[in-house]
Structure 1
Amino acid sequence: MAKKIIGSLKLQVKAGQANPSPPVGPALGQRGLNIMAFVKEFNAKTADLEPGTPTPVIITYYQDKSFSLELKTPPASFLLKKAAGLAPVGKRNRPKGSAKPGREVAGTVAVAQIRKIAEAKMKDLNANDVEAAMQIILGSAKSCGIEVKG
């Protein structure tokens, strides 16, 4: 007999750096899930990713307090900022896009890089082919203030 699903939870955690502190601990704890089991499983599954990459994860939890993880690809904005080579700024030390997208350019990427990002994110995007996925990524680039050359 299949396990009965109680619910699901979406979190964005840095790859290989999950720990029981907020936001992970409280989100899992209030649902009665084993926090350390999640931390160990998530860190093991994201060991092959670059440490610190924000990784969306969907946690489906069951009546017997067990859970399953579904990892998604990193956000398009993160991949675009990385491809554009934007330097980390601010107190959180993260790359930022343009403060005025459309007027100021934060960085530039090539069409080949857009295609590479679209192919990587294809399974998570609502697109039928790579060309449609590229259009979605181009929209994200525009909203980040990243110019596309080529």
Structure 2
Amino acid sequence: MAFEQSLRRPVAATIRMIVPAGGAKPAPPVGPALGQYRLNLMTFCKDFNARTQHIKPETPMSVLLTAYKDNTFDFIVKSPSVTWYLKKAAGIQAGSGKPGHETVATLSVKHIYEIAKIKQTDPNCQTMPLESICKSIISTARTMGIKVLKELD
């Protein structure tokens, strides 16, 4: 029991941020979020930028950072949100103001499948079947006013 407790470090906070790929700087949103827990900003910026250097710059990456009371941290980089991928694939700036009544774009199932393959690499989706991820993405597309077709004409 004592050994188990020595492995666990007391957590100060769990921080969620959206940071552009390869663009972490000690400025907002990173600086204020990490500074209040006295975390080393430059270490985070270097590690994050190294992990995301292969991704197109300015891609909004979701970061889940666990800050510990001894001023250390761990972080997980997730892929961008499903809505970001859907907007990029459809070539639109925003979803419909009246989903269900107004269609702003159409996508094929192939687009949905490609997005699902990317999202399957996220830690919380690794155990989910690809079909379930696809269904979830189709639902998100519907709420954005994007119509999903089996094949595009």
Q: What is the TM-score normalised by the length of structure 2?
A: 0.84
- Deviations along 1:78-128, whole A, 9 cap, x unmatched? 011111122xxxxxxxx2111222122221111011011112112433873
Task: Please name the residue that 2:145 is paired with.
Answer: 145
CA distance in 2, matches of 1:30, 1:48: 30
CA distance in 1, matches of 2:7, 2:126: 29
Task: Please name the residue that 2:53 is paired with.
Answer: 47
1:69 shift after superposition = 1.4
CA distance in 1, matches of 2:128, 2:43: 36
Aligned pair partner of 1:37 in 39, 43, 50: 43
Task: Please name the residue that 1:130 is paired with.
Answer: 130
Task: Please name the residue that 2:3 is paired with.
Answer: none
1:4 shift after superposition = 1.0
Matched, 1:17 2:23: yes
1:45 shift after superposition = 0.8
1:5 shift after superposition = 3.6
* Amino acid corresponding to residue 105 of structure 2 in structure 1: G
Contact 1:83/1:109 (8 A) holds in 2? yes
Q: Supply the RMSD in Å over aligned alpha carbons.
A: 1.7
CA distance in 2, matches of 1:38, 1:28: 9
Structure 2: segments with no counterpart, 5+ residues: 1-5
SS in structure 2 of the partner of residue 61 of structure 1: strand
Task: Please name the residue that 2:68 is paired with.
Answer: 62
* Amino acid corresponding to residue 2 of structure 1 in structure 2: L
1:3 shift after superposition = 5.7
Contact 1:106/1:145 (8 A) holds in 2? yes
Contact 1:5/1:60 (8 A) holds in 2? no
1:42 shift after superposition = 0.9
Count residues in correspondence: 142
Task: Please name the residue that 1:2 is paired with.
Answer: 7
Matched, 1:118 2:124: no
Aligned pair partner of 1:74 in 76, 80, 86: 80
CA distance in 2, matches of 1:41, 1:126: 23
SS in structure 1 of the partner of residue 7 of structure 2: coil
Q: What is the TM-score normalised by the length of structure 1?
A: 0.86
Q: What percentage of residue pairs aligned between the two structures are identical?
A: 40
| Structure whose alpha-carbon radius of gyration is higher | 2
